[in-house]
Amino acid sequence: MQPQDQPPQLPQSQQGTPPLPIPARRESSPDVARLIVHANISYLDEQGRASTANIRFGGRLDSGEQPYIRNLTLKDEWVDVDLGWLASQPLSLLVVKCDSGALGVRDAVSLSMVWAVPAGLALIGTPNGSECKLQVKGPGKATITAIPK
């Protein structure tokens, strides 16, 4: 056999060294979308006594759809909450957050008031997108976030 016909040789210092293992995929991190919520809610009464609720939940999502996020500038009139491409899908989470001003949220079918929201408060629910018939009213700025199931 001619020298050019020989297979390449490792340097003497690396001969007998086992190849590095390829890391296996961890089963605890599957390729699925997840929803994780951490909320700390505190209430302080007139006497300075505090009540706190810590809310934590999460899980896998069935859909690979992106969340729908919409920023609104609201006037003093009722408008339907638009859920974009998630309007006909089940939702894992719907958040209506008042960024500034005041916000009212009501059921669009019965027209009954659901919430009156001061600035900074987020409202969280888990409706079916096709059954979610909410309306919001200002004046103020709000953010609507819908996360698919």
**Predicted pLDDT at 70:** 92
Burial class (CB in 10 A: 0-12, 13-18, 19+), 35: middle
CATH class, range 61-148: mainly beta
Report if pTM > 0.85: no
Least confident of 2-11, 52-61, 111-120, 130-139: 2-11
- Of 95, 31, 40, 30, the closest CA to residue 67 belongs to 95
Q: How confident is the model at residue 71 (pLDDT cuts 50, 70, 90)?
A: very high
The number of beta carbons lying within 10 Å of the beta carbon of residue 132 is 19
